[in-house]
């Protein structure tokens, strides 16, 4: 392992030890019913997305699993229906690495579903695991982290916004990460390279992930500004470091070394879904639209994450890149 990756491992270990010794995963406790309501959860065939979808189904919601992998999604539908006793759990194909797929999904949903109460933008490009992070390009040529984590969800949200506004009270929940604090935006690079990093190394991919998570925070902030006075509110969150996701791409040796620490300090998918559920269901959050949460509580974001001018600039750039302006 290189010095750089060893340093990254050290940073992540320190983060886990310090952060989770102070903020143990909180639990969202509410008996709120979702009978008659419809929710979309992206990336819900595994991990916290699946756990979130299952919880919503247990509350009586009609839940759409918006996923790329049909086989895994259909297996998740079966599991959730069986666990929840709710037959109103469906799969619809969505590949966030393709803007055409996003448009197809929105078109199918709008033609077949009369209402939308919750849009949970949960999916991420392959979760990073100690330096092993997804890189490459989307179908439209964007950097994978930027294209999937931000741009695909940005377009999806805008295409479904009118349906959300038709509900009496609806919410958009964007899953970000604490690592947004390490993110920054270079619009010159985005305009010329369709990405926020210049290379494809593990370090560049890690940086791209951090930048994309900052995009989630800024998107939520600007979306809240534009939704002011409507029935729709929005929130972003850090779910915690999830043991099943952060180790997905490790080799056998790394997993053997990593497993004891992950069991001690990292959250399982149920724990990781709690803040998502809090943002989706907690009563009285409307005055905090646009804000950032972690461990089922309001948290501060980075200085850049509070920059309204930067948020507006990202929105305008995203509209242009999606062909909306």
Catalytic residues: 209
Residue 71 and residue 79: Cα distance in Å, rounded? 13
Nearest to 120 by CA among 174, 69, 54, 80: 174
DSSP labels for 181-221? Answer: GG----HHHHHHHSSS-S--SHHHHHHHHHHHHHHHHHHHH
Cα dihedral: 287, 291, 296, 298 (round 10): -80
Residue 272 and residue 320: Cα distance in Å, rounded? 34
SS3 68: coil
* Run of H or E residues at 245: helix 243-246
DSSP labels for 115-174? Answer: ---EEEE---SS--BTTB---SB-TTS-BHHIIIIIIIHHHHHHHHHHHHHTSSSEEEEE
Angle subtended at Cα 312 by Cα 225 and Cα 297, rounded to the nearest 5 degrees: 50
Residue 150 and residue 237: Cα distance in Å, rounded? 14
60: left (phi over 0), alpha (psi -120 to 50) or beta: left
């Amino acid at each position: 392992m290189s010095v750089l990756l060893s340093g990254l491992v050290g940073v992540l270990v320190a983060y886990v030890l310090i952060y989770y010794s102070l903020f143990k995963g909180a639990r969202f406790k509410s008996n709120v019913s979702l009978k008659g309501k419809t929710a979309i959860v992206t990336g819900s065939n595994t991990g916290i997305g699946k756990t979130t979808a299952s919880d919503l189904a247990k509350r009586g919601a009609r839940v759409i699993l918006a996923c790329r992998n049909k086989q895994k999604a259909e297996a998740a539908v079966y599991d959730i229906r069986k666990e929840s006793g709710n037959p109103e759990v469906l799969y619809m194909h969505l590949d966030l690495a393709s803007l055409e797929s996003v448009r197809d999904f929105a078109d199918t949903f709008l033609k077949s579903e009369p209402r939308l109460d919750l849009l949970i933008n949960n999916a991420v490009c392959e979760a990073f695991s100690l330096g092993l992070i997804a890189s490459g390009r989307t179908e439209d040529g964007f950097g994978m982290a930027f294209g999937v984590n931000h741009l695909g969800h940005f377009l999806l949200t805008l295409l479904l916004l009118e349906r959300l506004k038709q509900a009496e009270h609806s919410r958009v929940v964007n899953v970000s990460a604490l690592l947004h604090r390490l993110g920054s935006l270079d619009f010159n690079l985005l305009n010329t390279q369709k990405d926020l990093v210049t290379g494809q190394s593990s370090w560049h991919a890690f940086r791209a992930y951090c930048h994309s998570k900052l995009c989630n925070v800024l998107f939520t902030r600007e979306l809240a500004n534009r939704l002011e006075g409507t029935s729709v509110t929005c929130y972003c969150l850090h779910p915690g470091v999830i043991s099943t996701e952060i180790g997905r791409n490790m080799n056998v040796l790394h997993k053997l070394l990593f497993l004891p620490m992950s069991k001690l300090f990292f959250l399982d998918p149920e724990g990781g879904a709690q803040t998502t559920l809090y943002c989706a269901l907690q009563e009285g959050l409307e005055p905090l639209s646009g804000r950032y949460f972690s461990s089922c509580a309001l948290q501060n974001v980075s200085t850049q994450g509070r920059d309204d001018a930067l948020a507006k600039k990202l929105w305008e750039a995203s509209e242009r890149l999606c062909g909306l302006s």
